[in-house]
Amino acid sequence: MEDGSGGKRKYRSEMQEVNEIKIETRDALTIMDIQGDVTAFSEPFLNDAYQKANTQGAGKILLKFDSNAYINSGGIAVLIRFWPRPGKTIR
């Protein structure tokens, strides 16, 4: 979903947990700016953003979290599933 800000995309959960993920590309680096708490409910939104970053040819992906973000064990499990796949780097 384009938000009119030069290639950034936003994804929102309609559940209790709200995540907003902006995707920004800088040369070979793709930044996923994740706003909100990261829980098991975040998985479909993180997966969608990750897939979109890959289709844009992301070589390296930087996960940037909100300074007040809470990440529970379900959120950690979701992030582990995105652990680097062959040819990709996540920081």
Question: What architecture is the 20-90 domain classified under in CATH?
Answer: 2-Layer Sandwich (3.30)
Residue 55 pLDDT > 80: yes
Give pTM, 2 decimals: 0.69
Please state, in angstroms and rounded to a whole number, the distance separating the CA atoms of residues 63 and 41.
17
* Cβ count within 10 A of residue 62: 15
pLDDT surpassing 60 at residue 32: yes
What does the mean pLDDT of the chain come to? 78
Residue carrying the six token digits 């064990």: 73
- In DSSP terms, which residues pair with 51 in a beta bridge? none
pLDDT band at 31 (very low <50, low <70, confident <90, very high): very high
- Domain boundaries of the chain, sorted by first residue: 20-90
Per the model's pLDDT, the better-predicted residue between 89 and 40 turns out to be 40
Nearest to 34 by CA among 21, 47, 18, 24: 21
- pLDDT tens digit sequence for 3-16: 444 555 554 444 44
